[in-house]
Amino acid sequence: MDKFEIKIGLEIHVQLKTESKMFCSCKVNIDDEPNKNICPVCTGQPGILPSPNEKAIFYAVLVSRALNCRIPEILYFSRKNYFYPDLPKGYQITQYGISTGFGGEVPVIMSGKIIKFPLERINLEEETAKSFHIEGKVYLDYNRCGIPLLEIVTPPCFKSSEEAVNFLKSLRRILIHLGVSDCNMEKGEFRVDTNVSVNIKGKESDHRTELKNLNSLSALKEGISFEIERQKKLLEKGEKLKGRQGYGMRKKRKQG
């Protein structure tokens, strides 16, 4: 019997298939020349007045209903304040105090059986800009900034990389079938963050490692498997893992 307890959670970001951005009328086309599809709203100029995209809200509710989430009667957005160059406003408009969907589940077929993995929440928010690193310099393209984004979060309910990958395959098929996204991972339309925590059974601690912005299922599987073995080896040596670690993790300020 394995003496280790493994907990894996996922945070999936899905680019919604709309013609305009989340809070302005700018066209959604990230393949245009850099910084062509921008306006005072998505670049955060003084005096702006964001207006939510009705189709994006419809898509968020559609996905929440399809995944058996609880949907509140009133939805609203909040500002998540943190400084990062791909957020020209200095904050992200997102759902913080309330979500479009709470709870819910995703059915996954494994070993001939249907397993229903739980969801924690589904949030609607805006995408950030895209950065390019060329010859030691950083360039920003704001064409992507403000595109509607669906954030789907699970509790730490997975026990292996295989479970996580099968869950994502099933979720991706559902989203494509609903027509809300093309979920093209190579284009960043379906990205995954994952947190991995390994403990000796009966000696649980609060540590976890986050792997950020994984854009392929093979990278996710390899990353989770590596992190599980890394933590197991440290625990077998008697070393204690503390706190939260992150690879490429963005530090965010507290909600303002």
Distance, in Å, from the CA atom of 124 to the CA atom of 103, rounded to the nearest integer, reads: 15
Nearest CA-CA partner of 213 in 31, 12, 30, 29? 12
Distance, in Å, from the CA atom of 218 to the CA atom of 112, rounded to the nearest integer, reads: 22
Give the pLDDT score at 67. Answer: 98
Nearest CA-CA partner of 14 in 150, 196, 171? 150
List own/partner pairs for 107-115 with CB under 8 A and 24 or more apart: 107/170, 108/163, 108/166, 108/167, 108/169, 108/170, 109/166, 109/170, 110/162, 110/163, 110/166, 115/163
| Binned average pLDDT, 10 residues per bin, the chain of 256 residues | 88 97 94 93 90 97 98 93 83 91 96 95 94 90 94 96 97 98 93 93 81 91 94 87 52 32
Q: How much is the pTM?
A: 0.90
Distance, in Å, from the CA atom of 122 to the CA atom of 173, rounded to the nearest integer, reads: 17
Give the pLDDT score at 117. Answer: 98
CB under 8 Å to 152, separation ≥6 — which residues?
Answer: 10, 11, 12, 13, 14, 63, 119, 121, 122, 171
Give the pLDDT score at 249. Answer: 35
Radius of gyration of the chain (CA): 19
Give the pLDDT score at 200. Answer: 86
Give the pLDDT score at 3. Answer: 87
**Chain centre to alpha carbon of residue 241:** 25
Instruction: Record the tokens describing residue 193, joined without a space.
Output: 């963050």
